[in-house]
Amino acid sequence: MAEPSPVSRCARAATAKEAAYRIDYPLAYARSTRVVAFDDEAARTVRAVMDEPWGQAQFYSAPGPGHELLTVAGEARPLAGELADSDSVIMVATNRVNAEAVATVGAAAQVRAIMTAGLLMADEDGLTGETFMAIRPYARILLAPADQDDLVELLRAIRA
């Protein structure tokens, strides 16, 4: 067992008074986030939050097999290009999830070591096992059931 430090640094550093003097500087946006909706209902949720003043977050839907993402303006973009400078992908889906697109986007993110989070929005019948199965292998963290507020709070929390 180590001897106690003769003059404690922790005791001085962890007081309320000291905390007021911590270095204060603006934090940069930490994440280059891609938010992808995998069905129409999820796309409505994504559109509802995209107008907030986000930093580098970009918003898409994935209507086909997922090799192309659709911007909110309706412009098709190759998946690989959109992931090129991204470090996190948030996957939003409901029971109508486009599982093929999830697999495409999820695998592409995994190959690039991009962090993935899945938010599953439940309808009145809850979430089906198929919905979980579609997204579970690809989401490093999965929140279910989630709602629009969860998406907003996640994006805020990670400074997207």
Partner 1 sequence: MLRPDINDLLTQTGPGTPMGELFRRYWQPVLHTDELPEDGCPPVRVKILSERLIAVRTPEGEYGLMDEFCAHRGVSLWFGRVEEGGIRCPYHGWKYAADGQAIDVPSELNNSEFCKNVKLRSYPLVKVGDLLWSYLGDPAKQPPLPEWEFATVPSEQTFTSKRFQECNWLQALEGGIDSSHVTWLHGGGPNGDGLEADPLFAGARGNQYNKGDLKPYFEIVERDGGLLIGARRNAEEGHYYWRVTPWVLPNFTMVPPRGDHSLHGHFWVPIDDENCWAWSFDYHPVRPLTAAERDAMKGGAGVHSKNVPGTYRPVANKDNDYLIDREKQRTGEWFSGVEGIAIQDSSLQESMGPIVDRTKERLVATDVGIIKARQKLRRAAEALRDYGTEPLGNRPAHQRIRSVAVVLPADQSFVEGSGEAFDARPGVAQTSV
**Residues in touch with partner 1 (CB under 8 A):** 1-2, 4-5, 8-11, 13-16, 18-19, 22, 27, 30, 88, 90, 115-117, 129, 132-133, 136, 139-145, 149-150, 153-154, 156-159
Check: CB of residue 82 under 8 Å from CB of residue 89: no
Residue owning tokens 């909110």: 72
User: Which long-range contacts (C-beta less than 8 Å, at least 24 apart) are formed by 46-51?
Assistant: 46/72, 46/92, 46/151, 47/72, 48/148, 49/148, 49/151, 49/152, 49/155
* In the complex, least distance from residue 69 CB atom to partner 1, rounded to whole angstroms: 19
- Residue 49 or residue 67: which is nearer to partner 1 going by CB? 49
Alpha carbon distance 84, 138 (integer Å) = 18
* Structure tokens belonging to residue 119: 């938010």
* In the complex, least distance from residue 12 CB atom to partner 1, rounded to whole angstroms: 9
* In the complex, least distance from residue 123 CB atom to partner 1, rounded to whole angstroms: 15
- Residue 18 or residue 40: which is nearer to partner 1 going by CB? 18
- Residue 101 or residue 114: which is nearer to partner 1 going by CB? 114
User: Residue 160 in 3-state DSSP?
Assistant: coil
* In the complex, least distance from residue 18 CB atom to partner 1, rounded to whole angstroms: 7
* In the complex, least distance from residue 138 CB atom to partner 1, rounded to whole angstroms: 10
* Structure tokens belonging to residue 7: 């003059």
What residue type is assigned to position 76 of the chain? A
- Residue 67 or residue 115: which is nearer to partner 1 going by CB? 115
- Residue 69 or residue 91: which is nearer to partner 1 going by CB? 91
